[in-house]
Structure 1
Amino acid sequence: MTTIKEIALESGYSPATVSRLLNNDPNLSITADTKNKILEIANRLGYWEDHQEKKIKPTIALLYRVNHKEQLQDEYFTSLKQALVSTVERDALKMKTFYDIEDLIKNASLFQGFIGVGAELIENAQLVKLHKVLPNGVFVDTNPAPELFDSIRPNLPLTVKNAIDLFIKNGIDKIGFIGGVGPKHDHIQENDLRSITFVEYMKTRGMDTKWTCVEGPFSVENGYKLGKQVLAKYKNDLPEAFLIASDTLAVGVLQAFNEENVNVPKDTKILSINNSNVVKYVSPPLSSFNINQQEMIDMALDTLTRLIIRPDRPKIDIRMNTNLVVRKSFVPQEK
């Protein structure tokens, strides 16, 4: 059994300092280098194997990546950031925010780990550099480097399947899908999981996928454009319902439908994903699958804490299920 005295002897710090750190003394004042050294030795000597009931309070960084070009998408990640800030304050943790990955790399020695929030592109080479100096990291909602860092994400494939099943249970078998393209990782364009799942699952159910429209970014402007495209092609052959990949797209689609006098939910119904604040105020209010941001943040911090004391464990990618919030754009008779 590893003792405080053994850690103190190897680290060169007093047993009192080691004990206060490992017992989360809020009044302890030590440098980041001291904290990192003591924790590294505690990990190496297997201290946590004999003290699994204990939790540490690490000093963490927030890597916050938004492009400030799309208000509704930024609102989603701003809300995630605020949930993290509030939780850090609640748990008496120390955190500093970085908006540029290179700045975090330069200051990595000040932290035991980081939380990543946002969808702005990060080059793979930068992620590799970050992993070398700060390997303990958890991304929330996205996962740009699953081979390097942990992540907590909404279970979007299951959400899409649940939406299709719900439509079918309500007697709807002509279902459309409107979505955007996936992110670029290391200059490679990826397909979005929502559109992939929609097409594959519809085919397994023996259903027509001709009303699938996937193009461009997840923005209100692009949603408006796609809504216009769908109506130009299918106004006289609309599906009974649409699943739209995000609220940002859905707001634009709804605007396009309203301009063309397409009545939602009479002419076609809409289900969206994210449940952002704005969907309550559009006309009609949108039924949307809710992503529990606070739960994702709590899970991210717990995952990061466990990673810091067991840095050699395999990387994990946790998927969190969503729940439907019903509004006027689609009121199911059976949930």
Structure 2
Amino acid sequence: MATIKEIAAKAGYSPATVSRLLNNDPSLSTTAETRQKIMAVADELGYWRNHRRQKNRKQLRLALLYRISGKEQLQDEYFAFLRKAIIKEAKAEGIVLQSFQRIDDLIEAAAAFNGFVGVGADKVTQKKLAALHEKLPAGVFIDINPAPRLFDSVKPNLELTIQDALQKLVAAGYQRIGFIGGEGLNLNNIQQKDAREIAFREFTSLQGIKEAPVFIGGQFNVSTGYQLGKRVIDQVGDHLPDAFIVASDTLSVGVLQAFNEAGVMVPRDTAVISINNSEVANYVSPPLSSYNINQETLSRMALGLVRDLIKYPSRPHVHLQVNTDLVIRKSFIS
């Protein structure tokens, strides 16, 4: 059976340092390199196998890096429900979870945690993310990953979602298909394109869809959807696409408001397929056909990846995707 002394001798550190690290001493300050080396040696010598019961009795402490503002959360309930799902899954697994909104605050408190789960990453820099990795390398981002070389991630498979939506629309006889979406991640002060927009442009080209107008702008909220809906009416007039794929339910709510004001009837004049399947999808007029993103699955898999990173800190990073499924309502019926 591997002992602390044996691990310390092979790793080249004092038994006291090894003991404090393996027992998650929050007052211990070490570099990521030191942590990774000790953990790798402990794994090599079978420490985890021999101490599984003792280890499992220790309560895992994780941080939730939740970089979603209160205003954004109210406007896009997807993130509010995702946060609730993470807290619920953590509680079910007996994990102590503490929320942080600022990366600097988490970096300062990193010694008190075994790892973290991140939600949202707008307007962060690689420098800050590298500093976080130095202090707390066991991190998993949900939905979007601003640093895939540093942290694991679990995401809904939005590329496959867009491809599936296009296939369903084409199979239903729609030939002119538009896309309405928001802006992607802002990283290092550079505005990125959203994955749904990229996928739409790629798959419409591959499928030979000649009329595939794209309308992009702003955050994923109702106000942006309303403005984009008005832009659609102003720019295409009577030549409205047969159908639209809208990147989120909150955008769809605004789009439907703009369409209703202009006398555009959904699905009579144009069909709408949305993404998220949030509660609001049931209550707008008409109710939205929307792709369901299983947030409980995202949360559970993220917590599993954090555990695995803590146990195997030197393993390659993993990026998982979770499929979505279309819930049919009145805005599009296949």
Q: TM-score, normalised by structure 2?
A: 0.87
- SS of match in other structure, 2:91: helix
- SS of match in other structure, 1:271: strand
Partner residue, 1:165: 167
Q: Pick the aligned partner of 1:240 from 223, 239, 242.
A: 242
Partner residue, 1:139: 141
Does the alignment pair 1:182 with 2:184? Answer: yes
Partner residue, 1:316: 318
Distance 1:13 1:153 in 2: 36
Q: Alpha carbons of 1:128 and 1:4: their partners in 2 closer, same or farther (altered >3 Å)?
A: closer
Distance 1:262 1:173 in 2: 18
What is the one-letter code of the residue matched to 2:49?
Answer: H
Partner residue, 1:155: 157
Distance 1:18 1:102 in 2: 23
Q: Is the 8 A contact 1:66 1:74 kept in 2?
A: no
- How many Å apart are 1:189 and its aligned residue? 1.4
Distance 2:262 2:155 in 1: 36
Q: Is the 8 A contact 1:39 1:309 kept in 2?
A: no
For 1:27-106, list aligned pairs within 5 A: 31-33=25-27, 41-46=38-43, 47=45, 51=49, 54=52, 56=56, 57-106=59-108
User: Which deviations, in whole Å up to 9, do the C-alpha atoms of 1:221-278 show, x marking residues without a partner?
Assistant: 1111110111112231111111001111111000000111111111111000111111
Partner residue, 1:281: 283
Partner residue, 1:122: 124
Q: TM-score, normalised by structure 1?
A: 0.87
Q: Pick the aligned partner of 2:224 from 208, 222, 225.
A: 222
- SS of match in other structure, 2:237: helix
- SS of match in other structure, 2:193: coil
Q: Is the 8 A contact 1:220 1:248 kept in 2?
A: yes
Q: Aligned residues: percent identity?
A: 44
Q: Is the 8 A contact 1:7 1:18 kept in 2?
A: no
- SS of match in other structure, 1:302: helix
- How many Å apart are 1:214 and its aligned residue? 1.7
Distance 1:50 1:191 in 2: 43
- SS of match in other structure, 1:77: helix
Q: Is the 8 A contact 1:68 1:74 kept in 2?
A: no
Report the aligned-residue RMSD. Answer: 2.9
- How many Å apart are 1:321 and its aligned residue? 0.9
Q: Is the 8 A contact 2:183 2:218 kept in 1?
A: yes
Q: Is the 8 A contact 2:7 2:18 kept in 1?
A: no
Partner residue, 2:215: 213
Q: Is the 8 A contact 2:281 2:288 kept in 1?
A: yes
User: Which deviations, in whole Å up to 9, do the C-alpha atoms of 1:269-310 show, x marking residues without a partner?
Assistant: 100011111111111110100110000000000001001111
- SS of match in other structure, 2:321: strand
- SS of match in other structure, 2:71: coil
User: Which deviations, in whole Å up to 9, do the C-alpha atoms of 1:139-192 show, x marking residues without a partner?
Assistant: 111111111111111111110000000111111121111112211111111111
Q: Is the 8 A contact 2:119 2:141 kept in 1?
A: yes
Q: Is the 8 A contact 2:122 2:186 kept in 1?
A: no
Q: Is the 8 A contact 2:61 2:96 kept in 1?
A: yes
Any stretches of 5+ residues in structure 1 without a counterpart?
Answer: 22-29
- SS of match in other structure, 2:98: strand
- How many Å apart are 1:118 and its aligned residue? 2.5
Partner residue, 2:2: 2
Does the alignment pair 1:253 with 2:255? Answer: yes
Distance 1:48 1:35 in 2: 25
- How many Å apart are 1:210 and its aligned residue? 4.2
